[in-house]
Structure 1
Amino acid sequence: MVQKNIAVVTGASSGIGAATARRLVTEGFHVVAAARRVDRLEAFVKEAGEDAATAVACDVTSDESVTGLAAAVAGLGGRLTVLVNNAGGARGMDPVAGGSVADWQWMYDVNVLGTLRVTQALLPALEAGGAGTVVTVGSTAAFTVYEGGGGYTAAKHAQNALVGTLRLELAGKPVRVVEIDPGMVRTEEFSLNRFGDAAKADAVYAGVREPLVADDIADCIAWATTRPQHVNVDRLVVRPIAQAAQHKVVREQG
């Protein structure tokens, strides 16, 4: 039986999820790292130690897989206190007039329905523990639209609506609902997965001095989850200093 409080992190095989899993271990949680790429999760557990972390294969777009995640968490026997809904992503930069319906469906499924599935599956345990926190990693795309980002911004707006509704519905219950909305974060995979081209991915950050990195967002998540339980950080918007707004990014000339 796990003696520590348990934190579940989805999308924990890379980027913000991996950084958050590592950080929450240092904060004293037993971290359940959930993602599709089990080899990466197992490497993390080996590094952190089996007393500090557990790897669980999970695809948030699958009801069956998410049910398996909930069962794995229950099997640990400890108290679930934190869920970090981090799994998500973007595909393409097509205009609405020519956007891929398949890409839009994938973005909605992973960002919105993935958050819904995992939250529904783990909410009873979070509430039963008497001091739970649901953190959802959104995006500044949750409140600002931009050309070529229709599918992603629509999904993130919907995810934001889910989070806000959940907070209202859980009022009076012992579960906090937190949303972290990063701006420009340079990770090894997000833009590459979106464009499928390394040069295009690199161009997103060209000339930007010190874009955020995954550890910056992990730090914000750790801070929000370790506040006294009566303190709820409804929404935290985090950008690099070079990004004043979605459309206002300072780029240095090379």
Structure 2
Amino acid sequence: MSRAREVTDGHVPQEIVEATVRAARARGLAPADVTLRDIALEAGVSRSTLLRRLGGTRMALDEALRAAGLESGGRKPVRERAIEATGLLISQQGLGTVTFERVATWAGCSVPSLYATFGSRDELLRTVFERYSPIVDVEAFLAAPHRDLEDTVRGHYKLLAEALKSEPRVFPALLAEVFARPGDANVQTVFEALTPRLLAGVGRWLTAEVAAGRIRDMPPLLLTQQMVSPLFFHFLLRPVTGRVTSAELPTEDEVIDTFTQNFLRIVALP
């Protein structure tokens, strides 16, 4: 049995680990630097299928690779350093400041290594926003079986709230760019990659709830906006509101519970 087979231990399918190794060899990269897209191509599955088999995150695969001795110890791979550096750049200085040259400086790597790992700046941005946005977690959460509508809405809100308040604040930075410069090419590039997935995941679940007679029949886009807009507005302004208002802010759990009940009062059917 190969070492790659030994480390899967039922958590990461052995064929995915082996596909990662093959993809790395074919591209002359370390296994940790191979993109999920290339791994999926090597494994003969779609990227979304690969993510589902990994449990919605690359973390389990990275742990399996480390356990197999397929990553160098100590310093993180170029891929991880670049994603983290780009996240900090966006959070602190904005989307427009992201160039391969700046990312290479912040990540302590070379520009050619970034091209070898991501291929393009657009792919780097897509990877970063997938890492720091709630899209993957929301897709996995809504794809799982759910019985109670209220619990599902509340769980969805918790995922969104966590993404909005976590550091680095990449997701809030993107939303700020949308409001400030909706026609900017950088904003359009990211939204063209992520928005269809976000609307498809949430929209698919909402459409199923409409078909089951649990919520009102409204256009999925309007239902999605009705669901997420109050939460986005509150958590985007919460850091400032807490410093300028004399009123005590409700706890995050109270906020999530209130918005859950409000959404259900608007759209839920008896």
Higher strand proportion (structure 1 or 2) = 1
Higher helix residue share? 2
TM-score, normalized by the shorter chain, greater than 0.5: no
Q: Give the TM-score, by structure 2 length.
A: 0.27
State TM-score, norm by structure 1: 0.28
Greater RCO (Cα-Cα under 8 Å, separation 6 or more): 1
